[in-house]
Amino acid sequence: MSNRDRPNEPGFLDPGFEPGEFDRLERELRTSLAQDANRVHPRERLDAILHEANEAGPLTVTGGHGTRRWLLPVAAAAAVAAIIGGIWWTGQDDQPTVSPPAGTSTAVTPAPTTATPSTTPTATDQPTSPTSAATSSTAGPSRSTLLPVYFVGPVGDGKPTYKLFREFLTEDLPAASSAPDVAKAALTQAVQAQRFSNTDGYLQPWSGQSVLGVTHVPGKSITVDLGNAGNPAAAATAEIRRLAVQELVWTAQAAIQDGNLPVRITVQGEGARLFGSIATDTPFTRPPSDRLYEDLAPIWVTSPGRDQVLPAAKPVTVKGLAIVFEATVSWELQRGGAKVKDGFTTATVGAPSQGEYTIDLGRLPAGSYTIRVFEASAKDGSVAAEATRSFTVE
Q: For residue 140, what pLDDT band results from cuts at 50, 70 and 90?
A: confident
**So what's the pLDDT on residue 89?**
30
Helix axes 238-256, 179-190, angle to 10 degrees: 150
- For residue range 83-124, list pLDDT tens digits in order: 333 333 333 456 665 545 445 555 553 333 333 333 333 333
What sign does the dihedral 244-193-160-385 (CA atoms) show?
negative
Q: Nearest to residue 235, comparing CAs of 277, 263, 269?
A: 277
Q: Give 238-247 pLDDT, tens digit per residue.
A: 999 999 999 9
CATH code of 299-393, in short, is 2.60.40.1220
Q: How confident is the model at residue 54 (pLDDT cuts 50, 70, 90)?
A: very low
| Distance (Å, whole) CA 204 – CA 310 | 31
DSSP notation for 340-358:
EEEEEEE-SS-TTS-EEEE
Is residue 348 pLDDT above 70, yes or no? yes
Taking 50 as the threshold, does the pLDDT of residue 283 lie above it?
yes
pLDDT at 225 over 80: yes
The pLDDT-based confidence of 73 (bands split at 50, 70, 90) is very low
Rounded to whole angstroms, what are the CA distances from 54 to 49, 87, 89, 114, 350? Answer: 9, 15, 19, 31, 33
Lowest mean pLDDT among 12-16, 203-207, 219-223, 228-232: 12-16
Lowest mean pLDDT among 37-41, 219-223, 226-230: 37-41
Is the confidence at residue 205, as pLDDT, over 80?
yes
Per-residue pLDDT at 124 = 37
- pLDDT of res. 309: 97
pLDDT at 351 over 90: yes
Asked if residue 276 has pLDDT above 80, the reply is yes
The answer, yes or no, to whether residue 156 has pLDDT greater than 50, is yes
- Report the percentage of the chain scoring pLDDT > 90: 61
**In sequence order, which residues have a C-beta less than 8 Å from that of residue 204 and are 6 or more positions away?**
193, 194, 197, 234
Give residue-wise pLDDT tens across range 285-333. Answer: 999 999 999 999 999 999 999 899 999 999 999 999 999 999 999 999 9
Report field, pTM of the whole predicted structure over 0.85: no
Assess whether pLDDT exceeds 50 at residue 177.
Answer: yes
Q: What is the CA radius of gyration of the chain?
A: 25
Task: Look at residue 136 in the predicted model and tell me its pLDDT.
Answer: 45
Residues 56-72: what's their mean pLDDT? 39
Q: Give the residues across from 359 on adjacent strands.
A: 318
Mean pLDDT for the stretch of residues 3-20:
42
Q: Where are the beta strands (DSSP E) in the chain?
A: 62-63, 66-67, 104-105, 142-154, 162-174, 211-217, 221-226, 263-267, 273-274, 278-279, 299-303, 308-310, 316-322, 328-335, 338-346, 355-362, 367-376, 383-393
The pLDDT, as a whole number, for residue 386 is 95
pLDDT band, very low/low/confident/very high, at 37 (cuts 50, 70, 90): low
Asked if residue 190 has pLDDT above 50, the reply is yes
Who wins on pLDDT, 167 or 125?
167
Higher pLDDT, 85 or 262: 262
The pLDDT of residue 180 is above 90: yes
The predicted structure's pLDDT at residue 10:
38
Rounded to the nearest integer, the mean pLDDT of the chain is 78
Looking at 17-26, 223-232, 323-332, which range is the least confident one? 17-26
pLDDT band for 380, please (50, 70, 90 cuts): confident
